[in-house]
Amino acid sequence: MTLESLNLLPALPEVFLLCAVSAILLLDLFISDRNRAYTYLLSLLTLAACAGITLGTASDRVEFAFNGLFVDDPLSDLLKVWVYIGVAGVMVYSHVYGRSRQLFRGEFFTLALFSTLGMMVMISANHLLTLYLGLELMSLSLYSMVALQRESPRSTEAAMKYFVLGALASGMLLYGMSMLYGATGTLAIPDMAQRIASGEVRGTILVFGLVFVVAGLGFKLGAVPFHMWVPDVYHGAPTAVTLLIGSAPKLATTGFIFRILAEALGSPSLVAEWQDMLVILSVLSMVVGNVAAIVQTNLKRMLAYSTISHMGFFLLGILPGSAEGYGAAVFYAIVYVLMTLASFGMILLLSREGFEAENIDDFRGLNRRSRWYAFLMLLVMFSLAGIPVLLGFWAKLAVLQVAFEAGYTGVVVAAVLLSVVGAFYYLRVVRVMYFDDPVDTAPIVNAGDQRALIAVNALALLVLGMAPGWLLAVCQQAVKASL
Amino acid sequence: MFQTVVFYVFAAILLFAAVRVVTARNPVHATLFLVLAFATASGLWMLLEAEFLAIAMVLVYIGAVMVLFLFVVMMLDVNIDRLREGYWDYLAPGLAIAGMMVAEMAVVLVGRKFGLLTMPAPSPKPADYSNTREIGAVLYTQYVYAFELAAVVLLVAIVAAIALTLRRRKDSKFQDPARQVAVRKQDRIRIVSMPAEKTVSRDS
């Protein structure tokens, strides 16, 4: 190994984050509960510094580090910056919520940062080994964060389910990867793609491994029929942790899918194999997600089923196996993260000590209690439903367009019909907010930074929706430069 | 020929031990069968000329992890009968599904795909070839990133384990050496001025 092949500079954000988390971990030991806000501020500063480093070292070139185990390309920079935004958003939304629920602890912040590190490792992986290690780093932090509220049996149960099913999914992924290794004789992603392209590889074993990899990915995404854990975990976890599970990890999974399906297994013969599987996952997710969400009375469960249906839409973008498709999928994932942040953020802001605003009934008459919050929630719900002008519409349009151009007319028609079904339950929340009488009359009190963030977050859906072209163009360009 | 016989004997023991890990009624027995499974697996590695891995398996898994496991299993007061509730009810459908999956996988994989013709055995290494040295050479160079990441995963496990289990009990008694050292005379001793001893009256 030489210093050239080590090439630490592209991995600077990861190196910095690891050093910073370790420092925060130690510093936090000497901070009393009263001054815990310092840990919070330090964590936010760390994320900001990471964003600065990532943006500062961003370039159009594809660079390798750590002897080819790590890759820094435009797509990884784009996804990482959104991961920082997502995790920082989670921290700002949840700091008041956490204080009254034993969540405002040093471990909450350090584990969140460790999971961020895991996401970054996944996004920048150039080797199946690092891909898997990043996934475990992220998942382990998330499992323990779900269980962080020790006194709550509901969150302990959710953590157990998440952990067991997550372990099962990891097992499937590993088994699939071992088959890929058996077929190609390498774990490095570029080598694997090269050997498959050379045609010397045994197809059956490759496809066999691929099935397990896709099943494992389905688990991690929460796509039907591997979705069972999603509603229980979203519902059972403390809302602040649900927000974290639902937002940034989706970007990391996007990176994971891009690395393994597009880069390693992207040869035309294999693309045809996984396309068939993804069609099933995608259509089933949209059906089950949208139909099951209708009967939910708990907003967190409803949003969990809505996540499942959104993952179905997201997979539509992956289907064509083209650069445009991946670009649209990345765009969808980013928009989805913005919408998730705002929707769960709203639940956090309306909750107060001893009260969780997690039922749809808790949003009754929100308009009378606060016109501004009701308006912001309306924007978020409209965007999730995919009503034009808002950003969610453009995301849906982008993935539908690429799927349609690739010839999946039937799937696209089904997707459009199901998104009409989906609009019903989003609009029900809006109806309840505007036309019902409030049952809960307690004043809504929030910190200034939270009020500012929810306004920026929800209005971004509107403003970016007015000019959606540039974000989509950024995603497309990043994917094109990285493939 | 001899190696093949050894392989099949070891493989049979390994499979038997693995099945017993799951089916043994007593958790201590299950753990001991797991030790047997690990020992045989390291024997198989020995056959594959992976002596470093074989020794590491014995030292780390059998020597350290499983001993710890035994302690934990012996200390836990698990009600086996409650855990086993519904075991026989689930056994039949479980076996059916598992059998189906094995059959499906066999249909795809059996044949010449993993045979010795497509994947020939590697040529034996010379006697002075050091497995340990080779692993060390790539572990700390080529795979240093993965190595470090594994370390971070362990760090997260430590943080999570402490965060989930550490509770400061209010009634626990502990020493604070700093306070012990910094103690002053006034904190411990109260000097009371007592009146001179009274004269005891004879009446009382």
Q: How confident is the model at residue A284 (pLDDT cuts 50, 70, 90)?
A: very high
- Of A204, A203, A142, A128, nearest to A173 by C-alpha is A128
| CB-CB neighbors (< 8 A) of A25 in chain B | 159
Q: How confident is the model at residue B115 (pLDDT cuts 50, 70, 90)?
A: low
| CB-CB neighbors (< 8 A) of A140 in chain B | 153, 156-157, 160
Q: How confident is the model at residue B79 (pLDDT cuts 50, 70, 90)?
A: low
**Adjacent-strand bridge partners of A71:** A64
B95 touches chain A (CB under 8 A): no
- Beta-carbon contacts of residue B121 (< 8 Å; ≥ 6 apart): none
What is the mean predicted confidence (pLDDT) over B64-74? 89
Structure tokens that stand for A80 in this block: 């990482």
- Tens of pLDDT, residues A38-90: 999 999 999 999 999 999 988 888 999 998 899 999 999 999 999 999 999 99
How much is the pLDDT for A267? 86
Sheet strands (E) in A33-80:
63-65, 70-72
Best residue of A72, A104, A129 to probe chain B, by most B CBs closer than 10 Å: A129
- Beta-carbon contacts of residue B8 (< 8 Å; ≥ 6 apart): none
CB contact under 8 A, B146 and A67: no
**d(CA B9, nearest CA chain A) in Å:** 25
How much is the pLDDT for B167? 75
How much is the pLDDT for B131? 85
What is the mean predicted confidence (pLDDT) over A464-479? 91
The predicted complex's ipTM stands at 0.92
Percent of chain B at pLDDT exceeding 90? 36
pLDDT above 80 for A233? yes
Give the integer Cα–Cα distance in Å for A292 and A222. 14
Amino acid at B194: M
| CB-CB neighbors (< 8 A) of A107 in chain B | 159-160, 162-163
Q: How far is CA A168 from the centre of its chain?
A: 20
Burial call B132-169: b when 16+ CB within 10 Å, e when fewer: eeeeeeeeeebbbbbeebeebbebbeebbeebbeeeee
Kindly list the distances between the CA atom of residue A238 and the CA atoms of A29, A241, A341, B118, in Å, as whole numbers in the listed order.
24, 5, 15, 52
CB contact under 8 A, B143 and A208: no
Long-range interactions of A305-310: CB distance < 8 A, separation 24+: A305/A230, A305/A231, A306/A384, A306/A422, A306/A425, A306/A426, A307/A222, A307/A230, A307/A234, A307/A246, A307/A340, A308/A222, A308/A223, A308/A224, A308/A227, A308/A230, A309/A285, A309/A418, A309/A422, A310/A336, A310/A384
Give the integer Cα–Cα distance in Å for A19 and B39. 39
Residue in B113, B145, B160 nearest the CB of A205: B113
How much is the pLDDT for A60? 86
pLDDT above 70 for B158? yes
Give the integer Cα–Cα distance in Å for A340 and A308. 12
Residue in B109, B152, B159 nearest the CB of A111: B159
CB contact under 8 A, A133 and B146: yes
| CB-CB neighbors (< 8 A) of A158 in chain B | none
Q: How confident is the model at residue A1 (pLDDT cuts 50, 70, 90)?
A: low
Determine contact, residues A24/A39, Cβ cutoff 8 Å. yes
**d(CA B138, nearest CA chain A) in Å:** 9
Phi, psi angle pair for A214, to nearest 5°: -65, -40
Q: Which fold has domain B1-77?
A: Four Helix Bundle (Hemerythrin (Met), subunit A) (1.20.120)
pLDDT above 60 for B204? no
Write down the residue that tokens 């435009």 correspond to.
A74
Determine contact, residues A396/A471, Cβ cutoff 8 Å. no
Determine contact, residues A243/A93, Cβ cutoff 8 Å. yes
Residue ranges covered by each domain of chain B: 1-77, 130-164
SS3 A359: strand
How much is the pLDDT for A344? 93
Give the integer Cα–Cα distance in Å for B107 and A201. 19
B145 touches chain A (CB under 8 A): yes
Q: What is the DSSP letter of A436?
A: S
CB contact under 8 A, A202 and B164: no
CB contact under 8 A, A137 and B143: no
pTM of the shown model = 0.90
CB contact under 8 A, B160 and A141: yes
Crossing angle (nearest 10°) for helices A448-466 and A371-385: 40
Percent of chain A at pLDDT exceeding 90? 72
The enclosing H or E element of A226 equals none
B160 touches chain A (CB under 8 A): yes
- Tens of pLDDT, residues A324-345: 999 999 999 999 999 999 999 9
**d(CA B112, nearest CA chain A) in Å:** 11
pLDDT above 80 for A391? yes
Residue in A25, A67, A140 nearest the CB of B160: A140
- Tens of pLDDT, residues A440-471: 778 888 888 899 999 999 999 999 999 888 99
Give the integer Cα–Cα distance in Å for A307 and A339. 11
Lowest mean pLDDT among A134-148, A358-372, B1-15, B185-199: B185-199
**d(CA B188, nearest CA chain A) in Å:** 28
SS3 A86: helix
- Tens of pLDDT, residues A154-203: 999 999 999 999 999 999 999 999 989 988 889 999 999 999 988 777 77
Name the residue in chain A with its Cα closest to that of B162. Answer: A107
pLDDT above 80 for B117? no
B153 touches chain A (CB under 8 A): yes
Beta strands A63-65 and A70-72 are antiparallel
CB contact under 8 A, A1 and B142: yes
How much is the pLDDT for B37? 96
